[in-house]
Amino acid sequence: MTLFARRERRSPTANGRGAPRRRTVPRNQRLAPYLFVLPNMLIFAVFIVYPTINNFNISAYDSNNGRTFRYVGGRNYSELVDNAEFWAAARATALFAVCFVVLVTAASIGLAMLLDQRIRGRGLFRAVFFLPVLLSPVVVGLIWGWIFDRNNGLANTVLRGVGLGEPGWLINDKLAMTVVIFVALWTHVGFYTMIILAGLQGIDPTYHEAAMIDGASSWQRFRSVTLPLLRPTTMVVVILSMIAGFQAFDFIWTLTGGGPVGATTLMVQYIYQHAFESPIRYGLASAGSVVLFCTIFGLTALNFLYNHRKAAA
Amino acid sequence: MRRHAAILTAAGFAAALLTACSPGSSSDSGGAQQADEKKLTYVYFTDGPDEQATRNLIAEFEKQTGAKIDLQIVPFANLEQQLQARLSGDNAPDIARLSNIDPFRDDLLDLNAFEKSALDGQFIDGAKAYITGKDGGLLAVPSDLTMNGPMINVDQFKKANVALPDPKKPWTWTELIAAAKKVQQANKTQYAIAMDVSGHRFATMLSQYGTTYFTEDGQVALDKAKATAAVKQFADLNNSGAMPKDVWLQAGSKYKGANEVFLAQQVPVYISGNWQVSAFDKTAKFTWKAVPNPCQDRCGGFPGGKFMVSFKKSKHQKLAAQFIAWMNSAESQKKMCQQAAFLPTRKDLIASGIDFPTRGEDMNLFLADVKQTPADTYANVYNPAFSAAANAARDELAKVLAGKETPDAAVDAMRTAAQKALEVTK
Amino acid sequence: MTAQATRSKTRPAGTWTSTGDRRPPATGKVLTYAVLIALSIVVLAPVVWTVLSSFKTQAELAQRPPTILPDSFGLTNYTEAMQTFRFATYLKNSVVVTVGATVLTLMINTTAAYGLAKYNFRGRNFLFLVTLGTIMIPLQIILIPVYQVASDLHLVNSLWGLIIPPAATPTGVFLLRQYMLGIPDDLIEAARIDGAGEFRIFLRIIVPLCGAPIAVLTIFSVIWRWNDFLWPLIISQSQDKYTLPVALAQFDSQLVVPFNYILAMSVVSMLPVIIIFLVLQRHIVRGIASTGLK
C-alpha cells in the first residue's frame, strides 16, 4: 500500500523533471483540489473532528447528565487510573484486540490462499464467507447468544448429541471471551479475506515462476515469495482489524452484555455505560474515550512507522 | 511531517479554545418560549398492554380539549439516552414517562405552578420526598405503582399435588423453596424458581430477609448479617440448579426478564411483579396465579413506580401540566389501572380499592401486599441513589454466582457501592 | 496451505474470476474442498438455523432437544410481528436513508479521494491524516457532542439527519484514494493538454475508471446505513421517522416479546442486504479484488 506516494512530492503533472512547482501549475489546478475535498472534509470537520475535540474538553468536567458541567481538571483521569473496572476493561480490550488481529489476519490469509486456487464454485464460496459481513451486529450477537445458550442452545444440543457434555459457554469467563472472539472472527473474516485476495492478485506471477524454476516447494514459495510481497496488504488488514478490535461493542452487547461478571466488557462498553447508565459520569466516560482514542492513534502510528522503516530497509 | 504535526496541534488548541468555556449546550436558558398550538409530544415506554390503555385515555383527552397528542414509544433500554440527547438539543418532549427521574431533576417542570390544586398531596406519601424539587416544586407525578411478587404455574402445582399457600398465611422462604423444588421434580422442569436479572427484584428478597439498601433518612442500611443470609440463600439456590444461574450470568449488565422461562413452563415459581399480569393473561398457555410474597423476617414485596413529568424546555407547559393532571385524576387513573392491570398511586384510589375487570384476584393480591410492604422500601425505591445501588448489587451477585466472591465480600462491596452512589447523587 | 506441490507448467490466462493461477494437486484439491465446505457450514449454519426457527412457535422453540424443521412454514410469526408496528413506514424510511446516504457518500467520497490522490496541495497530507484519524473514532464515544451539532443544525428528527452526517465515510475516501493512486498521471495530463477542465477530467476520465471501488463502496454504504442503529435511535424521535432497526429495537424492548417474533423480524432485516449483495455480488468481488489495496 502506498500511503504517501513518492511521486506526489513532485508537481501534479508528474513529469519527474523537477520543474519549479509553483510556476508550472495553473491557478485552476491549484484551486481545484480544495473544491474537490471540500464537501467531504466539511462533514468530517463538523460531525467528527469538532465533536472529538469537544470531547477532550468535556473530559475535564464532571456531569451527571451530559448537559450541566462542573470543571474538575484532571480528576477524571486520576479516577480512571484508580478504577479497577477500568483496568479490567482495558485488559479485556487488549486481550480481545490482540487475539482478534492475529487470528483474523492469519485466517484471512489462509482462506484467501484456498480461494485463490482454481477450484470449482469459487464465487459461491466467496459469497458464503462474505455473508456475515452483511448482517447487523445487533442481530449477530442475538443469534449467537441464543445458539450458545447452555441449556437450549444449538451448540450444546450438538455437543450433547456426541457426548461432549454441555459447557457453560456464556457463563464461564474464559469461554465467554473465546465465544466473543470467535463471533468476531465469524463476522469479519470474509471482509479481510477479500482484501488479501486483492493483494494476492497484485503479485506478479513471474516471481512464483522464478521460485518454481529454483525448485522451491509450495510452502517455501508461500514463505519467501507470497508473504513478503503481501506485506503491504497484510498491513492494511492489521490496521483495519486493530481499529475494529478496539471499537468492538454492539454485537458483544447483545451476545454477552459484557458478562459474565464483566469478563467481556470492553472499553467502548465501559465508556458507554458511564455515559448512559446510572450513576451517569459523563466526564469520566469522555476521559475514557480520550484514552481509547490516544491508544488507537498511537498504535496505528507505530504500525506505520514500523512498516515504513521496514519498507525502506 | 513535523510541520503537519504543528498544524494539527495548533488546530487542536484553536478548537479547544473555542469550546473551552463550557461543554454544555448553547441554549441553556431556564424557560422555553411558549407556543400556542395545542399539540403535545409524549415520550413513552411500554410494558405491553398499557400502551393501548394509554392510547384510549389520550383519545378521550383529545376529544375533550381539542388538543393533539403524539405518543412516541421508545425502547426502555434507550429511554434515558434518547431523552438526554433531546434535552441537550432543543427538542425536549412535552411529557415523558420515566422510571427514574433523577438524571433529569434540573430539567423538570414544577407542575405545582400550573396544577397545584389537582395534584399536590394527592399521591402516596412514600414518594413525596423523591418527587419534590430543591425549591419545593412538584417535579413528577407517580403515575403507577408496581409491586414485586411471585407468580406460580397452577397446573404444575396440581400435578405435583403441592398445596398453594394460604393468602392469610404466606409461605416462608424455606416453605417456598421446598414447594418449588417438589413441583420441579414432579414436572421435570428445568428450574424451581426464577427471578428477573435485576437488583430491584433482588431488593424484594433482601427486604424479606429484613434489610434494604438505604434507611428511611437516606443512609446506607444493608445489615451485614441479614444481607449475607439473603445473598447466601440466593447463591445456594443458583448453584444447586434450583434457580437459572445461566440467565443471571448470561445477561451481563443488561436487564433480562425470566418471563420466557416461566412462559415456556420450565419453572413453576417466577418472582417478578404485577406488570406481568396483563401480558401473561394474553400469552400464558396454562393456569397461573399470583401468590403472596414469602415472609422471612418481614412480609410484603418491594414497590416500584413510573412517573409522568414535563420539562422546563417544553413549549407547551400549561397544556402539558393539564394533561398530566388529567391522566392522573381519580377517574383516568382508575381506567388505566383496570385496563393495564396497574396499581394506583392516588391515596383516594388506594383507600377505596379498584375493581379489576380481569385477573382481579391476582391484582388484589398484589394490592394486599402493598399494605404488607414495610415503609422503608418506599424510601429505598424513591432514593436517588437506588438504581446505582441496585445495579451494583446485581453485579456483585453475578460475582458470587461465578464463584469469584464470597457472599460476605459481596455484601461489603454492595455497601461500598451504595455509599458511593449516595455521594455521587448528592 | 495446500499439500506438497507437483509442478504444473500450464497456466491459463487469468481473468478476474481466476485471479489465482495455481492449479492445486489432486490430494491438495480434496483437502481444499474439505476445508472450504467445513468452513461454509460453520458460516451458514447459524443463519439457516435462524431462518428455520423463525417459523417455529414459542412452544417449539422451548422444546428440548429442538427439532430441526418447524412444524409448518406458516408466516404467522411474520404477519403478527409486522402488524405490531407500522412496517411500511419504517421500511420506506430505511430505503430513503440508505439510498440517499449512499448516493451522497459516493459523490463526496470520490471527489475527496480524487483531490487527495491526484493533486499536490498545501495541507493534503494533513487532510489525509485527518481522514485516517476519523476511522478510529466510534460514534458511541462522541454521541452527545455530535448530537449537539446535529441539533444546532436542525437535523434532528429529520431523515436528512440520518443521511448527511454519516455520508462522509473515511473508509470510502481511503479505499478510493488508494485505487486512484494507481491511475496513471499521464492520462490526466493528456486530457489537460486537450483542454479539458478539472471537473470534466474527474467526471469523464476518473469516475469511469473507478467502477470497481465504487461498487465496493456502494455495497458497504448500503450495509452500514441499513444496519445503523445507535445514530437513528437518537435522531429519529417520532415514530414516522423510525428506521427498521430502531423499530426492531422498540419491539425487542417490550418486556414480554416472544422470541419467535424477534427471530422473524431479524430475518426480515437481513433479506434486503442479502438480495442487494447477490445482485451486485459479481461487481463486489471484482471490486474488492481490484481496489488497489496492494
Residue-range domain boundaries for chain B: 39-145+305-363, 147-303+375-425
Contacts of B81 in chain C (CB under 8 A): 143, 233-234
Tell me if C176 is assigned to some domain: yes
What domains appear along chain A, each with residue ranges and CATH number?
A: 84-312 (1.10.3720.10)
Residue in B closest to C258 by C-alpha:
B260
Tell me if C108 is assigned to some domain: yes
Fold of B39-145+305-363: D-Maltodextrin-Binding Protein; domain 2 (3.40.190)
Same domain? C104 vs C69: no
Express as a percent the part of chain B with pLDDT over 90: 50
Burial class (CB in 10 A: 0-12, 13-18, 19+), C58: middle
CB contact under 8 A, C294 and A118: no
Same domain? C91 vs C213: yes
Q: What is the pLDDT of residues A213-247, one digit of tens each?
A: 888 888 888 888 888 888 888 888 898 898 889 98
Number of domains in chain C: 2
Contacts of A132 in chain C (CB under 8 A): 43, 47
At B220, is the secondary structure helix, strand, or coil?
strand
Tell me if C7 is assigned to some domain: no
> Per-residue pLDDT for B239 more than 70?
yes
- pTM (two decimals): 0.81
Same domain? C130 vs C272: yes
| DSSP 8-state class, residue C206 | I
As a whole number of angstroms, the distance between CA B106 and CA B84 comes to 12
Count of alpha carbons within 13 angstroms of residue A92, beta-carbon side: 30
Mind telling me how many Å the CA of B420 is from chain A's nearest CA?
Answer: 10
Last residue of a domain, one of C32, C54, C76: C76
Res C7: pLDDT: 38
Picking from C192, C189, C113, the residue whose alpha carbon sits closest to that of residue A10 is C189
As a whole number of angstroms, the distance between CA C122 and CA B310 comes to 52
> Per-residue pLDDT for C5 more than 50?
no
Same domain? C172 vs C211: yes
Q: Which of B33-37, B285-289, B372-376 has the lowest mean pLDDT?
A: B33-37
Nearest by CB: B250 against A50, A56, A171:
A171
Q: What is the pLDDT of residues C235-281, one digit of tens each?
A: 887 778 888 888 776 665 555 566 788 888 888 888 888 887 887 77
> Per-residue pLDDT for A13 more than 50?
no
Q: Please say whether the beta carbons of B30 and B113 come within 8 A.
A: no
> Per-residue pLDDT for B350 more than 90?
no
**Chain B within 8 Å of A273 (Cβ-Cβ)?**
yes
B194 beta partners: B270
Tell me if C127 is assigned to some domain: yes
C210 beta partners: none
Buried b (16+ CB within 10 A) or exposed e, B252-262: bbebebbbbbb
As a whole number of angstroms, the distance between CA B304 and CA B283 comes to 24
As a whole number of angstroms, the distance between CA B332 and CA B338 comes to 10
Residues spanned by the domain of C52: 23-76
Contacts of C124 in chain A (CB under 8 A): 8, 33
Same domain? C40 vs C92: no
Count helices and strands (H / E) in chain A: 15, 2
Residue A255 has φ and ψ, to the nearest 5°, of -85, -55
As a whole number of angstroms, the distance between CA B347 and CA B125 comes to 8
Q: To the nearest whole number, what is the mean pLDDT of chain C?
A: 80
Please state at what angle helix C259-289 crosses helix C76-83, rounded to 10 degrees: 100
Fold of B147-303+375-425: D-Maltodextrin-Binding Protein; domain 2 (3.40.190)
Contacts of C237 in chain B (CB under 8 A): 72, 82, 86, 91
Mind telling me how many Å the CA of C120 is from chain A's nearest CA?
Answer: 6
Res C2: pLDDT: 37
Res B22: pLDDT: 53
Greater confidence, A132 or C263? A132
As a whole number of angstroms, the distance between CA B45 and CA B71 comes to 10
Q: Indicate if B147-303+375-425 has the same CATH topology as B39-145+305-363.
A: yes
Same domain? C187 vs C96: yes
Taking an 8 Å Cβ-Cβ cutoff, which residues of chain B contact chain C?
A: 1, 4, 7-8, 23, 25-26, 41, 45-48, 70, 72-78, 81-82, 84-86, 88-91, 257, 259-260, 263-266, 275-276, 279-280, 283, 285
Res A23: pLDDT: 52
Region C100-128: mean pLDDT is 93
- Please give the full DSSP string across C225-250, using - where no structure is assigned: HHH--HHHHHH--SGGG--HHHHHHH
- pLDDT grade, residue A107 (50/70/90)? very high
- pLDDT grade, residue B249 (50/70/90)? confident
State whether ipTM is beyond 0.95: no
Same domain? C68 vs C92: no
| DSSP 8-state class, residue B125 | G
Q: What is the pLDDT of residues B361-379, one digit of tens each?
A: 899 889 888 888 898 898 8
Nearest by CB: B87 against A67, A145, A260:
A67
Region B378-403: mean pLDDT is 89
Express as a percent the part of chain B with pLDDT over 70: 91
CB contact under 8 A, A257 and B100: no
> Per-residue pLDDT for B110 more than 90?
yes
CB contact under 8 A, C290 and A8: no
Mind telling me how many Å the CA of A277 is from chain B's nearest CA?
Answer: 8
Res A146: pLDDT: 87
> Per-residue pLDDT for B251 more than 80?
no
Res C251: pLDDT: 65
Contacts of B374 (CB under 8 A, 6+ apart): B207, B298, B300
Picking from B129, B119, B196, B202, the residue whose alpha carbon sits closest to that of residue B378 is B129
Same domain? C154 vs C34: no
Contacts of A64 (CB under 8 A, 6+ apart): A279, A280, A281, A282, B103, B424, B425
| DSSP 8-state class, residue C203 | I
Contacts of C170 (CB under 8 A, 6+ apart): A44, C131, C132, C134, C135
As a whole number of angstroms, the distance between CA B251 and CA B201 comes to 15
Mind telling me how many Å the CA of B312 is from chain C's nearest CA?
Answer: 18
Tell me if C51 is assigned to some domain: yes
Same domain? C62 vs C157: no
Q: Please say whether the beta carbons of B335 and B53 come within 8 A.
A: yes
Residue in this structure with the C-alpha cell 419491539, named with its chain if needed: C251
Q: What is the pLDDT of residues C39-91, one digit of tens each?
A: 999 999 999 999 999 998 877 877 777 788 888 888 888 888 777 667 778 88
Residue in C closest to B273 by C-alpha:
C255
CB contact under 8 A, A139 and C270: yes
Residue in B closest to A263 by C-alpha:
B252
Contacts of A63 in chain B (CB under 8 A): 23
What's the helix, strand, coil split of chain A in %, to 5? 75, 0, 25
